[in-house]
Amino acid sequence: MFGSRAADAELLDRADLHREIEVIFREAVGNFPPREIIEDQLETLIRAGRRGEVPQAAERLISILSLNLDDLRKAALLSLMVRLTGKRKFDPVGAYVLEKRATYVTSQG
């Protein structure tokens, strides 16, 4: 009962996540999904990454980084994701995304 859910809840503060996202999106120009949707996607990515559910986390990573944002904001989002997931847990997710991207690009040509 005190498995990964307790660990997830212990380290992920939704209010902190909200503040971080607000800072990143402040003055951003574009048509973005509501903040709550972005928070949900980030939270899903973080929890899936912490549990080692690489494909699910990668799906969210691709979705979040597909937002039409400038490079600085994308870098800030990526930094937030790595920090909250934990570098060791995030590395397989990043590698999976790069592998899938390489497979997609190669199969298209």
pTM over 0.95: no
**CATH number listed for the domain at residues 4-108:** 1.20.1290
Assess whether pLDDT exceeds 80 at residue 9. Answer: no
pLDDT digits (tens, 9 = 90+) for 24-67: 988 888 888 888 899 999 999 999 999 999 999 999 999 999 99
Tokens of 103: 């497979």
pLDDT of residue 32: 87
Q: Supply the DSSP string of 39-104, one letter for each residue.
A: HHHHHHHHHHHHHT-HHHHHHHHHHHHTS---HHHHHHHHHHHHHHH-HHHHHHHHHHHHHHHHHH
Cβ of 70: how many Cβ atoms within 10 Å?
A: 11
Q: How confident is the model at residue 102 (pLDDT cuts 50, 70, 90)?
A: low
pLDDT: which is higher, 63 or 103: 63
Mean pLDDT rounded to a whole number for the chain:
85
Q: How confident is the model at residue 3 (pLDDT cuts 50, 70, 90)?
A: very low
Residue extents of the structural domains in the chain: 4-108
